[in-house]
Structure 1
Amino acid sequence: MKISLRRIYPFFLGLILFNTLRAITDLTKHEVFWSGSITLHLIGISFTISLCYFYDFLWRRQVNSFAFPEGHQSIIKEYLQILLQLSGINLFLLIGQCAGIFYMGSGWIDYMLINVCFIPFLLIYYTLIRNEKVSRNYRSKILIMEKLKSDKSESELKFLKSQYHPHFLFNALNTIYFQIDDNNIEAKRSIELLSDLLRYQLYDIEKEVTFEQEINYLQAYIAFQKIRMSSKLLLNAYFDPQLKEQKIHPMIFQPIIENSFKYAGGEYKIKIELRMEDNKIIFYVENTTSSIWQNEENTNAGIGLDNLKKRLDLLYPGKYNFYTEHISNLFIAKLEINIE
């Protein structure tokens, strides 16, 4: 409904402008209102209405793509630009007069009267269009702010819930730990390692952590995985001792190690190496695989690694190189990150 009404605004504005002009020119000369050629008046009123539709179209497009300036000087510049656009009325009149469409009997006086009548009304019309857009922007910002407040409250509630569940889990693990017989060293060690892993994932990690923190986590994760693996597993892990206080995003290397433990087979060999060369972090993992895994066409081995690539694209865009290769019964994954 509003859009339909908006489309007829320029029509009524054109009627007002033309009749205001006629009132000034006819009544001040003590002539009959709308005196003279009806054909010229119809041409004039058609031109005025068309002119109003032209500026309506121009200004609505303009305000829709316009970041409204702030400050008095910026607003003055904005309206000076509108006045410059309105000066185009004289160009239309001149072309119409030369083409014989318009009759400007009083010469420059008619030009002056048309400008005096049209420009103030059109400036008011532009202001109305402008204020309508500003009002929509303001309402939109209010809605966004309300949504942000709602999202913030929901996030705070989820955070409180997330704090409760880890506490419950740690308390449960603590209860189970003391129910296990002291002679069952492996079970107690498993719970200790699991608690350390969960604590790191839930509480210790921030946007970035030191390599020392990350390596301690990886060593705990490897120790936990070794418990559930076959005793046949041959593991060779090396972590560069010079990696200490350098910063890294957490949980980057763990998916690769997890993949190696998950699909280790055959000779059950896993090699893990994390080192620094110049300003590059080199992380290399290889594991033997079974012939069954090798011949399996559809495997989930790549899902975790695909997710890792997406994280790397976000965290280290253009600064990393990651590739995997399956040669015979050996799966290789290598990640290089430039941390300069």
Structure 2
Amino acid sequence: MNTFKKYLFPAVYGLVVYFTIRLLLDTVTGMRFWRDRHWQLNAFEMLYSIGFSYLFLAACNRLFRFFDRRWPANDVSPRRVVREVLWLIGLDLFFQNVFFLPLAAFTDDGAQWYDVVDINTIPLLYSLIYYGIARSSAFLKAYIEGKVQLEKITNDQLQTELKFLKAQYHPHFLFNALNTIYFQMDDDVAAAKKSVEKFSELLRYQLYDQQQTVPVSQELHYLQNFIQLQQARSSERLRLDTRFDDGLNGQQVYPLLFMPLVENAFKYIGGDYNLSISASLREKDHTIEFRVINSVPENIPTKKKKASAWKILKGDSNCSIPAAIP
């Protein structure tokens, strides 16, 4: 395809322009150029048109590269298109009047008014068609590449944020879990064994079972294990209410997406030690609503917190995310 575009297309382009001009002139004059003119003259004009087309299309492509250097590839603003078209029109008129019109002046009966009109109009129309085809494919390719690059950057940013969140979460979680098991070993060995089992399931999920996205049912099962492990190390005053919608099954979510809300709820709970954790499917807009509400300590630190941390201290953490219904 590139070989045809580079080496053969200009020849085809020149012949199409030549035959179009000749047929229109014959319509006006009543001549039949293939019969009433000498074949050597026709052959010379066709070869001249082919050579002229190679030169003209090379100049057009050079003009396109000039605009590509001045504007970003994905910028298809009207201002750019208008400038390119105006430059193309000027380039076409220059080439036709400098290289093509003198040819008509020295053949047949000289350059008549209809020769001037045809030589300036027909090639211009073909050059505009060539511009539309050549530039539309280039603009479309640049647009697609820009979208793909933007999508890649967005995905890389999300992956970085998730990895950063996991890196912050793992040491804190491991310390708390091991601390819980350590104290259970003195009081209740059976409970300690159950905690070890829950802890192993949590680690297996984190290390081996994670994909780009996971079913929300798998994520909620992980949360239940975590909640049970945290409940074992919490005060007996803790009043826990957990409600997970049965309709949450195959919807895809990011792994450990809800984990920070649950972990911070246990961390900042106080007062009456009420903790409510719920997940439900909103049929109206196909989103998952995950809500965590915990009672706050009687004495809240006055030190300023970031907005996200202050919302958690207030005891109401709520998020809604799109759910992919299979």
The alignment's TM-score, normalised by the length of structure 1, stands at 0.44
